[in-house]
A and B are shown apart, each in its own frame.
Chain A
């Protein structure tokens, strides 16, 4: 006998893909493709250019130094952090206060965390475009030397995939917190990403931080994720920096995997707790625009 009720996995997959499609529509259909392309290029290039100008003022344009690709690539890949965390957590505010549909998501037979992660896919796609453009710009104009034949592609894609999963768990944790907070200004995802910028060794080695702050950097999965991405793309240049030079690629991958699993468990717990509190306090359909 065939059944019309989809299995759990089928249901979750359908939930995820439809949420991703919806997110993409919301993200991209506010403008014509040309304006959307300009938007996708100008923002990341400007963000990267701030660091490039800072670096070139002090070093008098010494882009051949290994410090430069360290900073440039770290900053480029860090764009994923803001994009994915914002993509997932902003959905709470958008659905609750703008479209006023969050309560309907809770009465629908779907898994809300999967729906939220699906909604984050659009930001991931736009973030990927930004990262790609930034890296191509660096290779074309700023002497960032990436030899495609020397790149460790398997490690790159493994690290990228694992990192995206890890960022999704962080985004889900932030989405849980957002269920309990009002709609203030700006996006929480970018604010949190901006703060974590400090502890991720994204644009400077952790040794620059005051000693009492360094342990936070070592606890952040983004530190290991960025190190793996840099190592896979520019190999020895990245390994020349002291922060994680004592660890092999596999050891860093294992640490990243372990931290991702810990953060995934933590994120599930935090989301569930916040969700319960939000239900108890009747926060799922409030509007807090002031």
Chain B
């Protein structure tokens, strides 16, 4: 019997080789690749809708009821609902971007992210966009149901400005989130606690449930480093009849500061991510598991 021989192996030609993206195409590909499992994961198990969309409504309504119990003007109900909706974005930054890196480290994915030829910013953006389905649904649910339930009256002064403020706020916020994430590259179990710690103090300082004008000027000014502080203030000024009278600064000035924060946070995030990545590699923190 003639022995079987393997067919001669052909070398792939240059045109047969796998096409490799680089530059902005690779960036975009990475964003989609990291967003994909998050979106698919959410479809596979939809219990997040109950925990992340339905339950937060309860605490927002509770704050509305406090205002009702102490006889607050109607616009304050709207302030709470707007603040409650914006908590979704802060939670997304804290839990779906920053502290997510800690979980990725524990699962062993972080080292893979670092050795792959892609941008860490693209991975973080993918995490954020993948989580945006839940975040947006939560924000929309709180706004719609809260507004309907308590018959909130909006008097929008300028839709263009309102939309611009929102986009600036999101850009600055996610830039800040990426900066946080860079620090989380070095952290271990404390990451969880630091994210926990950044909830209530930020709700307080950023004025999620009341206008920050009620703080002393310098406290409000210092709080403005959190992008949601000025964006909430500007959006309340633009969306509610009494908003302008209760505003901290003029809307135009707040928009200018937010634009500045966008640039600062995005540039700082890029620099910090590069620096922290190198530091984490040097100190052997990327694969450690301090339990």
Contacting residues, chain A, for B67 (C-beta < 8 A): 54, 58
B residues near A186, Cβ cutoff 8 Å? 51-52, 91, 95
Given A30-B189, A30-B193, A50-B209, are A185 and B66 neighbors across the interface (CB < 8 Å)?
no
Task: Give the distance to chain A from B206, nearest Cβ to Cβ, in Å.
Answer: 11
Q: Among B70, B76, B208, find the residue whose CB has the most chain A CB atoms closer than 10 A.
A: B70
A269, CB-defined interface residue at 8 Å: no
CA distance A202 to B210 in the complex (A): 20
Q: Is the CB of A185 within 8 A of B70?
A: no
Cβ of A77 within 8 Å of any chain B Cβ, yes or no, is: no
Q: A194 in the interface, Cβ–Cβ < 8 Å?
A: yes
Q: Which chain B residues lie closer than 8 Å to A204 at the CB level?
A: 62, 65-66, 68-69
Beta-carbon contact of A47 and B214 below 8 Å:
no
Among the 9-residue stretches B8-16, B37-45, B252-260, the one with 4 or more Cβ atoms under 8 Å from chain A is B37-45
Q: Complex Cα distance A184/B52, Å? A: 8
A interface, over-half SS: helix
> In the bound complex, do residue B66 and residue A198 qualify as a contact, i.e. CB atoms below 8 Å apart?
no
B200 beta carbon closer than 8 Å to chain A: yes
Tell me whether B96 is interfacial, beta carbon within 8 Å: yes
Instruction: Given A181-B47, A186-B52, A204-B68, verify A53-B214 contact (CB < 8 Å).
Output: yes
On whether the beta carbons of B52 and A289 are closer than 8 Å, the reply is no
- Are B204's CB and A31's CB within 8 A? no
- Chain B residues near A185 (CB-CB < 8 A): 48, 52, 91-92, 95-96, 131, 134
**Are A198 and B59 in contact, with the CB atoms below 8 A?**
yes
Question: Judging by beta carbons under 8 Å apart, are B200 and A46 in contact?
Answer: yes
Nearest-CB residue, chain B, relative to A53:
B210
Contact of B68 among A43, A44, A71, A208 (CB under 8 A): A208
Instruction: Name the CB-closest residue of B to A38.
Output: B197
B279 to chain A, nearest CB (A): 20
Residues A267-290 near B (CB distance < 8 A): 287-290
A53 near B204: Cβ-Cβ < 8 Å: yes
A199 to B211, CA, bound (A): 26
Also in contact, A184 and B47, with CB within 8 A (given A54-B66, A55-B70, A192-B55): yes
* B74 surroundings in chain A (CB, below 8 A): none
Number of residue pairs across A and B with beta carbons under 8 Å? 140
Whether, in the assembled complex, A9 has its beta carbon less than 8 Å from a beta carbon of chain B, the answer is no
Tell me if B96 and A191 are in contact (CB < 8 A).
Answer: no
Given contacts A31-B193, A57-B210, contact A50 B200 (CB under 8 A): yes
Taking CB atoms, residues of chain A closer than 8 Å to B208 are 50
* Neighbouring B residues of A54 by C-beta, 8 Å: 63, 66-67, 70, 72, 209-210
- Specify which chain B residues have a CB less than 8 angstroms from the CB of A197 in the assembled complex: 58-59, 62
Within 8 A of B (CB), among A1-42: 30-31, 39, 42
Residues on B with C-beta less than 8 A from A30 are 188-190, 192-193
Q: Which residues of chain A from 180 to 196 have a CB within 8 Å of any chain B CB?
A: 180-182, 184-186, 188, 191-192, 194-196
Distance between A216 CB and nearest chain B CB, rounded to angstroms = 10
Is there contact, CB below 8 Å, between A99 and B201?
no
Return chain A residues, CB-CB under 8 Å to B45. Answer: 181-182, 288
- Cα A204 to Cα B63 in complex, Å, equals 9
B203 at the binding interface (Cβ < 8 Å): yes
- Whether A58 lies near B107 (C-beta < 8 A) is no
Known: A31-B193, A53-B214, A289-B107. A208 touches B65 (CB 8 A): yes
Quick check: is A98 within 8 A (CB to CB) of the other chain?
A: yes
A287 touches B107 (CB 8 A): yes
Is B166 part of the contact surface with A, judged by Cβ < 8 Å? no
- Whether B56 sits at the interface, judged by CB under 8 Å, is yes
Highest count of chain A CB atoms <10 Å: which of B58, B96, B291: B58
- Tell yes or no: A237 within 8 A of B by CB: no
The reply to whether the CB of A131 lies closer than 8 angstroms to some CB of chain B is: no
Bitwise, B73-96 to A at CB < 8 A (1) or not (0) is 000100000000000000110011
What is the 8 Å Cβ interface bit string for chain A, positions 238-268, against chain B (1 contact, 0 not)? 0000000000000000000000000000000
Contact A57 to B214, CB < 8 A, known contacts A46-B204, A204-B69: yes
Residue A59 CB within 8 A of the other chain? yes
Given A39-B197, A197-B59, A198-B62, A50 and B204 contact (CB-CB distance below 8 Å): yes
- Contact (Cβ within 8 A) A198 B200: no
Which of A57, A58, A195 lies in contact with B59, CB distance below 8 A? A195
28 A-B contacts (beta carbon < 8 Å): A30-B190, A31-B190, A39-B193, A50-B204, A51-B66, A54-B63, A54-B67, A54-B210, A56-B214, A58-B70, A58-B71, A98-B103, A98-B291, A182-B41, A182-B45, A185-B52, A186-B51, A191-B52, A195-B59, A196-B58, A197-B58, A198-B65, A199-B58, A203-B62, A203-B66, A204-B62, A208-B65, A287-B107
Interface positions of A (Cβ within 8 A of B) = 30-31, 39, 42-44, 46-47, 49-51, 53-59, 67, 71, 98-99, 180-182, 184-186, 188, 191-192, 194-199, 202-205, 208-209, 287-290
- List 3 A-B pairs, minimum CB-CB distance, nearest first: A195-B58, A290-B41, A194-B59
Task: Given A43-B197, A55-B66, A57-B214, output 9 extra A-B contacts at Cβ < 8 Å.
Answer: A47-B204, A54-B209, A71-B66, A99-B291, A181-B47, A185-B96, A191-B56, A192-B55, A289-B104
